[in-house]
Amino acid sequence: MSTLETFVGNMSVATLAEIVGLDVDVVVERIFGKAGALTPALSSAPARQAAKSSSAGQMELPVARGTRTHAKRAEFDTAIFDFLREQTEPVRARAIKAALGGTSAQVRTRLHALIEAGQVRQSGQAAGTRYALR
């Protein structure tokens, strides 16, 4: 049994989609491909990169965090704030994601909320963007 099969177990596709922060259609497409073949759909650059970077050729799925409720968003904001407080220099969103979990979209959304609240500053652009406390 593969790591993915062990992880997924008996959960529904909807549950898996919620955990990884994707729509059900996207999860099904990534598993079966557009034509419904039983091979992973690795046509997108992020999927190819995840497949390359994972050990033993198994694709790593992002670990989503609960951000649907105000309380969960506040919890994630606090975790990001605490992580940034521990850093000696500005960090990339990728480092925050690796340390705290969540999808790239969840991390970026919460970072932008913290920026708007005046708690975090952003420097640089695109791949060079870094975040630090104000």
Domain edges within the chain: 3-57, 70-133
Residue with tokens 């968003």: 73
Topology of domain 70-133 in CATH is Arc Repressor Mutant, subunit A (1.10.10)
For 79-124, the pLDDT digits (tens) are 999 999 999 999 999 999 999 999 999 999 999 999 999 999 999 9
Which two three-digit tokens encode residue 57? 């050729």
Q: Is 41 left (phi over 0), alpha (psi -120 to 50) or beta?
A: beta
For 59-83, the pLDDT digits (tens) are 555 567 888 899 999 999 999 999 9
What does pTM read for this prediction?
0.55
